[in-house]
Chains A and B, each alone.
Chain A
Amino acid sequence: MQGELMNKKAQTVSFEMLMWIPRIVYLILIIIATTGIIYAYIATNVSVGAVESHILLHRLQHSPEGIAEFDAETKRVYPGFVDAAKLSESNLKAALNAENREFAARFVISDLNDENKEVVYFDRQAYGVWAPVAAFVGIQQAQNAETSGSGRKFAHSEARYTYISDSMQLSKLETVVITPDE
């Protein structure tokens, strides 16, 4: 009788000791979860994706190494005039020394009836992947909803009338620049 009682007590003690292990693990998980929630509300970064897209778009459209007409003798850039020879993927890559999947852009030149379209990409593969994500971000921003997550893509688009310098033909230039949020 006493022996059986001792065995049951021993069993109770060993069970209690074993049960402390999951209790301690659970306690640590709760502490980690609480700290994670606190970290989520601490801002340590500034999102500049949208601003950078805007700057890079204007760089391509207005800088001498971009698509704008540039007179080498007078060293003058003519904004509003597009040099058709510069509207190529190789020239865009030289104008922006960006690594793969660091920046993507699409230029569409068409006549005023939206016909005879010519499309040029900067990093075509990345543009194809990022464009739907960037469109989603745009919708969210339009609804004044906060977007979160490191996979955001920021698109900046512009449409303007330009002259093609060779033919002096009035055309429409639509540009979309997408940068990831870092």
Chain B
Amino acid sequence: MAKRGQYSNTKIWFLVAAVLLAAVAGFDLLSDTQQRLSGTLLEKNFIARDVALTIEALYAAPGDVAYAYDLKKYMNKFFLNIGDGKVFVEAGSDEGDVSYRVVGSDKVILSAFKIYRVIDRDKPVRLIMSKKFNDDGTAIISFEAENARGTNE
């Protein structure tokens, strides 16, 4: 009787171990899925690409131009950083940062800029993009922020 009981115990323990392993693996993968669904990766990707394409469109302007890009209230949870030919959207949480490159030009200088703090969280933030030509034919694209503190690094 004892030997038959041992045989059954072994099988039961293996069954329990398999169920626990499946539960842990399933829980981890499903929680990762839920994090992706509730995460902000899509928003960060959208903002990075939209700002980068707006800057690329600004490169096409044949004269001086200023354009106000409405960032709505996204700066309450993200940081926007423009530099090194890329647009970075950073989050303060553990989620990864997102970047998208800007196809630049040798004759146009892209200034660096970073929004690091929102002044009034109830109001939207606007990114003012300006392109100004110099006398030698080169141009510079610079940035300012409304309702936010920014720095030209």
Contacts and interface: CB of A to CB of B under 8 A. Distances in A.
A13 B4 CA distance: 11
B62 A77 contact: yes
Given A27-B18, A65-B107, A94-B106, A76 B62 contact: yes
B36 A46 contact: no
Interface in A120-134: none
B132 to A, nearest CB: 11
B26 A31 contact: yes
Interface in B31-82: 32-33, 36-37, 39, 41-42, 45-46, 49, 53, 56-57, 59-63
A75 B10 contact: no
Contacts of A159: none
A39 B103 contact: no
A100 interface: no
Given A20-B14, A46-B45, A52 B22 contact: no
Contacts of B103: 52, 56, 96-98, 102-103
A135 interface: no
Interface string A37-80: 01100111110100110011011001111001010100111010
Contacts of A76: 62
Contact of B108 (A13, A39, A56, A65): A65
Contacts of B26: 31
B30 A75 contact: no
A35 interface: yes
Contacts of B85: 97
A31 B59 CA distance: 48
B119 interface: no
**Which one of B10, B26, B105, B106 has the highest number of Cβ atoms from chain A below 10 Å of its Cβ?**
B105
B137 A64 contact: yes
Nearest to A52: B53
B25 interface: yes
B29 interface: yes
Contacts of A62: 60, 62
Contacts of A52: 53, 56, 103
A44 B10 contact: no
Contacts of A70: 62
19 contacts: A6-B3, A12-B7, A17-B14, A31-B22, A31-B26, A42-B36, A43-B42, A44-B36, A51-B53, A55-B56, A56-B56, A59-B57, A59-B60, A62-B60, A64-B107, A94-B107, A96-B104, A97-B105, A103-B103
Q: Which 6 A-B pairs have the closest CB atoms?
A: A77-B62, A59-B60, A35-B29, A97-B104, A44-B41, A94-B106
Given A20-B18, A23-B18, A55-B53, 5 more contacts: A13-B10, A59-B56, A59-B57, A59-B60, A95-B106
